[in-house]
Structure 1
Amino acid sequence: MTRPTGKVSAFLQRYHPPPGGGNRPGGPLGGPIAFMFNPNQLTLTKSAAWIPHVVRGAEQVGVPEFSGSEPRTLALTVFLDVTDTHGRTVQQRVETLLSCCTPTTGSIAAKAPSPPWVKFTWGQFQTVSFYSYASQVTATYTLFNSSGTPLRATCELNLTEISGSKPGQNPTSGGRSARRVHRVVDGDSLPLLAHREYGDPTVWRVIAEANDLDDPSRLRPGTELLLPAADEFPPVLSRDSGPPAGTVAPAGEGR
């Protein structure tokens, strides 16, 4: 670790959760949690989700389908030693970091419990500065005095980006789920698509109705199908209709 003497110090700012939902936080929750030592390593992760298409009996797999970008995650270590300049002990500072994983008093009072949103900031390093939630805080105490009071600790922070609406989201649904478009490949069937998308092959009628399919048992390769978001399902959905004629449900389903 490097002491921030004469340098810009890294800090973590907590924010009130958005009142009534939304993708912007409320005002700051307390002052910034300044780091006693700037981190000497930051791990930033960004990943993409793909759905592989495996055709039974084919020698080669189908072209995978991109299903969305995953949020950024940031992992860093906070080093704490004895008492800081404001008189806070190591134990008090650890408890402040742990509070990033517990609901705020205001959100509990509003009957919408939520931990605070947080943002890591370090000078002009904007790539690692984004609204996030603390998915995990791990404190390791490494030094104690004769009475058992901790004098030194390291805290591992794992922050996950909080994003707004994703491109392609159905603007009228009011949910976070997004409609997607799937291009039919050999071996596709409505029960198989329903199983991949929703985890239930019996809801194939939702896809059929969303695409006005006259003959849902025949899917032509290359056809683009709209896959509705789960929150667009009707309140009561018949789940005993079985697969359309001429199709076979995924192995192990509906038996």
Structure 2
Amino acid sequence: MSLTKLHFEVFGNPGYAFDADFNPTEYTLAKENDVWSRKRHSQKPLQQYVGVGNEDLTLDLLFDTTREGLGRDAVAVTTRTERVDRLMRVDRHTHAVPQFQVTWGTGLKLRAVATRLRQRFTLFNADGVPLRAEVTLTMREVGAENSEKAKKTASPDRTKTWVVRRGETMTTIASHAYDDARHWRVIAEHNPRVDPRRPAPGTVLELPPLPSTEGAAR
């Protein structure tokens, strides 16, 4: 039986897909409830349950290029880790990090965006070329609903509200609400007093409808 490799595939970029060099020995899934706390005059803070936050997946991956050689013919392991590093880079056109799907056989399938990357280089050749790296990648689940289905269930003439959850930005909110991260500017312009990169958890945003040609907020 052939070994099934952990696989990454980036949405909207068919050429950007790769397998992990080695399958992880373990991974971690984490989820937490979001609670909005609001202070009241001379009373205890009022806490309101907002909902269950999206799932976070943390993978520990090993990359190694020692098979390519240890001397002058050595290949830097960064040529392998570069594929993971690109998941953290903000696209200059969408102003958001890429959405991707990670799968491992039938046991793991998650659509996500990368939120944290840690690279630890543990082996070098005599010239200081890194040959082995331990990579820890944390990603957050994002909605995978079909945009056409979302349009049918939305009210195009109605402004909606969104309570900001921990770790969210206007780009991730636009990705959920409009199925397109590029519409973060619409949210920012409608909520000028809120920092689009670091909206405080519990902040209530207004999500205005988009023109009918672009879709509407759910």
TM-score by length of 1: 0.51
The aligned counterpart of 1:160 is 140
- Does the C-alpha gap of structure 1 residues 131 and 175 become closer, same or farther in structure 2, counting only changes over 3 Å? farther
1:79 corresponds to 2:62 = yes
1:124 aligned residue (106, 111, 133): 106
Please report how far the alpha carbon of residue 176 of structure 1 lies from its aligned counterpart in structure 2 after TM superposition. 7.6
* TM-score normalised by L of structure 2: 0.59
Supply the distance in 1 between the matched residues of 2:83 and 2:160 (Cα, whole angstroms): 30
Aligned residue runs from structure 1 range 17-96, under 5 A: 27-31=13-17, 33-51=18-36, 64-82=47-65, 89-96=76-83
The structure where strand makes up a greater share of residues is 2
Q: Identity of paired residues, percent?
A: 19
Which residue of structure 2 aligns with residue 172 of structure 1? 156
Q: Alpha-carbon deviation of 1:6?
A: 3.6
Measured in 2, the distance between the counterparts of 1:51 and 1:14 equals 33
1:10 counterpart = 2:10: no
Alpha carbons of 1:174 and 1:101: their partners in 2 closer, same or farther (altered >3 Å)? farther
Where relative contact order (Cα < 8 A, 6+ residues apart) is larger, the structure is 2
Q: CA deviation at 1:73?
A: 0.6
Distance 1:174 1:155 in 2: 44
What does 1:203-214 correspond to in 2, within 5 Å? Answer: none
Contact 1:10/1:35 (8 A) holds in 2: yes
The RMSD of aligned alpha carbons is 3.7
Q: Is the 8 A contact 2:75 2:131 kept in 1?
A: no
- Residues 1:171 and 1:29: Cα distance change in structure 2 (over 3 Å): farther
Distance in structure 2 (CA, Å) of the matches to 1:98 and 1:132: 15
Compared CA separation, residues 131 and 30, structure 1 to 2 (3 A): same
CA 1:174–1:164: 2 relative to 1, 3 Å = farther
Q: Distance in 2 between matches of 1:66 and 1:7?
A: 43
**Structure 1 spans left out of the alignment, 5+ residues:** 17-26, 180-197, 201-227, 233-255
| In structure 2, C-alpha distance between the alignment counterparts of 1:73 and 1:175, rounded to whole Å | 29
What letter is aligned with 2:54? P
The Cα shift of 1:61 comes to: 8.2
Q: Can you give the 5+ residue segments of structure 2 that lack an aligned partner in the other structure?
A: 69-73, 164-190, 194-203, 209-218
Residues 53 and 150 from structure 1, CA distance in 2 versus in 1: closer, same or farther, beyond 3 angstroms? closer
Tell me what 2:126 maps to: 146
What code does the residue aligned with 2:20 have?
F
User: Letter of the aligned partner of 2:97 in structure 1?
Assistant: P
Match of 1:112 in 2: 94
* Equivalent residue, structure 1, for 2:206: 230
